[in-house]
Amino acid sequence: MLDIYGYITSWAVYLIAGTLCYVLFYKATGAIRFKPLANVLRGVMIALIYTPWYVAADEDFMAPAVIVILLDMITIGGDAFIRGLVPLTLALVAAIVIALMAGLLRSFFTRPAKR
């Protein structure tokens, strides 16, 4: 069984690797000229990488929600994956709304003043 130090170490490695992947993705989406699309894609990537969820209903350990969904589909089967899909879907919707609202607010405040 995994002790607390192994758990914390594995999360630290995951967060560092996820951050490196996000930085590469951020640079790759910088080539997209339509910035609202680039920001939505970046928000989706953040939600997919960093949304955690409980490994099991009776456990205190957490793992990335995408991994929990995949392993629940493989091991348990049926519709057991829904318990990890709900927080991931909420995080994805929140990321998309925040990215679009940030773009709207940015365009609203950077408009030149009418004379």
User: pLDDT tens digits for 23-35?
Assistant: 999 999 999 999 8
Please count the other Cβ atoms lying within 10 Å of the Cβ belonging to residue 52. 18
- Tokens standing for residue 13: 């490695």
User: pLDDT tens digits for 36-80?
Assistant: 999 999 999 999 999 999 988 888 889 999 999 998 889 988 788
Between 35-50 and 82-109, two packed helices, what is the crossing angle to 10 degrees?
150
Single-letter residue type at 97? V
Instruction: Decide if 56 contacts 66 (C-beta within 8 A).
Output: no
